[in-house]
Amino acid sequence: MKVLVAMSGGVDSSVAAALLVEQGHEVVGATMKLWGGASDSGCCSVSDVEDARRVAGQIGIDHHVFNFTEEFHEKVVDFYVNSHKQGLTPNPCIECNRHLKFDTFIDRAQTLGFDAVATGHHARVLMTGGRPSIARGEDRAKDQSYVLSMLADEQLEYIVLPVGEITKDEVRKIARKMSLRTANKPDSQEVCFINSSTGRDGFLSSRIELHPGELYDKGSGRKVGSVDAVELVTVGQRKGLGALGDGAARYAMEIDVASRRVLLGRQSDLLVDSISFRSATFAHDPLEEGEVIEVQGSAHGRASRAVFFQGVVKFEEPHRRVAPGQTLAFYRNEVVVGSAIAC
């Protein structure tokens, strides 16, 4: 099989490529140049491209760089900025997977005559009912099925995830055994286009106008403070919002950018019985009304049992509120069946 491996410069994609070579496939590596601005974190730095190139040389495969900066800016960066402008909390990594890594990259691979694309994500592709589905990775602590929950049938049929069947410790052992230069490289944790010296605040303030906002207490309705930029507050946030009269921490409950108001409450106020959603997509067939599923609202969050209805999931036990704009991943046991955007 002729496989194009998306090599980010990290240890997981390095080992994914190496395993495919060991299995006898015809493998080529490619690194996507996505962010054209300053970057000192994430997976878009010059050093990451060099790491991917050097690893490709170590395992004896060709390596290319695909310039997708224009598409990335339009589909991911602009989306991120506009979401904050509306008071939403976007997930840029999921949008990058949706539009670049599993769309534009696959299109390029097909044009070049590859049979499949591979990445270093810790998730598995399983056949369910004769059709491919994303399932949780072997290493539950590193599971990345959540960030792949938006994938559709036609994409799943073209994807290989070589490290999804092994743990992160095993990945590093393989990399060290092969003396790969990425063997001990730390995992990327930050958004690639956010520079640590300026942070999210600096990034957004250079692209949109930020407005001061007023803070109101949910219980009393009284104004209790202010923030420099209402667009930078996210539901569930605690930092910078002060405390209640009894010393209890305050959390952002609701954000109204138009009126420049933020409603605050206690931690217990963040627990809800249901979450509304929009823009649902499904890998195969849509979920049925009243079906019991598991719902996960963040990359490292805990999945909770809920009942699915059109436009809303109702939890069996109170669940922490998910910030509007974040992705909800729907599971049947270990298998992803779809996703949606929290309202």
Backbone angles phi, psi at 18, to 5 degrees: -65, -40
Whole-angstrom CA distances from 322 to 109, 193, 281, 333 are: 36, 24, 18, 21
The SS3 of residue 141 is helix
Q: What is the largest CA-CA distance in the chain?
A: 68
107-134 burial by CB neighbour count: b if 16+ within 10 A, else e? ebbeeeebebbbbbbbbbbbeeeeebbb
Q: Would you state the structure tokens that stand for residue 65, as one six-digit string?
A: 């760089």
Sequence-distant (6+) residues with CB within 8 A of 23 are none
Q: What is the DSSP letter of 124?
A: E
Q: Which residues are catalytic?
A: 96, 192
Q: Would you state the structure tokens that stand for residue 318, as one six-digit string?
A: 């109170």
SS3 percent helix, strand, coil of the chain, rounded to 5, is 30, 30, 40
- Element (DSSP H or E) covering residue 58: helix 46-59
